[in-house]
């Protein structure tokens, strides 16, 4: 999955220009209500970094700068961006540390941002939260073929909407979250759960979303 399909496009992103003064950037931050906005080159093409409201307030409070100072003096996260062709999974190392990740195309032209909300929407979609799916968690000892055994059993009763494994760093124990289409129905689900438990798997957290 490429992140380009899940970003907030550039035209919908509030930004500052690199030639702005600190005062102009502060006006943008206060009017938007955001704690941070991207800063672009004056031609609106290239990502130059982020400006944080807390950095502006702190610098003004301690007299380190005045509102006429160039915004460039407060730019942060200059190298924090990904190309839109990057895999979705690459963002997880960065998204926890920043309010969003700036996204650029292959020519390093700014195309938008990927936010925490975008990431959560993707995960919600994969789990079927909005489509009324059935989900349950399977606990198993870690051994070769354990995951294959779970999938084989599930496929006897239903297609699989999504599957996620937890405890990947454990050598003894693993949890697997399985999501099924709502069309599976409760009767088939009950038969499936009984089949899994009869094969030595522990099933818990059965929910209808």
Q: Which domains does the chain have, with CATH numbers?
A: 3-121 (3.10.580.10), 128-208 (3.30.70.260)
* Beta-sheet strands, E only, within the chain: 8-9, 16-17, 36-40, 47-52, 81-83, 100-104, 110-115, 134-141, 162-166, 173-180, 202-208
Q: Kindly report the pTM of this predicted structure.
A: 0.75
Bridge partners (DSSP) of residue 39 are 16, 49
Q: Can you give the pLDDT of all 209 residues of the chain as single tens digits?
A: 567 788 999 999 999 999 999 999 999 999 999 999 999 999 999 999 999 999 999 999 999 999 999 999 999 999 999 999 887 777 777 788 899 999 999 999 999 999 998 888 877 776 766 666 888 999 988 778 888 999 999 999 999 988 888 877 766 788 999 999 888 988 999 999 999 999 999 999 998 87
Kindly report each contact of residues 96-104 with a partner whose C-beta sits within 8 Å and lies 24 or more positions away, as own/partner. Answer: 98/50, 99/34, 99/35, 99/36, 100/36, 102/38, 102/47, 102/50, 102/77, 103/3, 103/4, 103/7, 104/46, 104/47
What is the C-alpha end-to-end distance of the chain, expressed in Å? 24
């Amino acid at each position: 999955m490429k992140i380009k399909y899940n970003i907030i496009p550039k035209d919908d992103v509030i930004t500052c220009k690199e030639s702005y003064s600190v005062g102009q950037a502060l006006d943008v931050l206060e009017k938007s209500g955001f704690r941070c906005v991207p800063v672009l080159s004056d031609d609106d093409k290239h990502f130059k970094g982020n400006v944080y409201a807390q950095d502006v307030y702190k610098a003004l409070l301690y007299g380190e700068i005045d509102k006429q100072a160039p915004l460039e003096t407060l730019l942060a996260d200059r190298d924090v961006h990904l190309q839109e062709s990057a895999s979705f999974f690459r963002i997880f190392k960065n998204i926890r540390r920043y309010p969003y990740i700036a996204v650029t195309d292959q020519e390093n032209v700014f195309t938008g941002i990927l936010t925490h909300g975008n990431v959560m929407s993707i995960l919600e979609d994969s789990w079927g939260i909005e489509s009324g799916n059935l989900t349950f968690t399977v606990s198993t000892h870690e051994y070769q073929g354990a995951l294959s055994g779970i999938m084989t059993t599930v496929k006897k009763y239903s297609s699989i909407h999504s599957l996620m494994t937890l405890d990947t760093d454990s050598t003894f124990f693993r949890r697997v979250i399985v999501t099924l289409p709502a069309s599976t129905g409760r009767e088939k689900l009950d038969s499936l759960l009984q089949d899994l438990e009869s094969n030595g798997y522990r099933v818990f957290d059965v929910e209808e979303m």
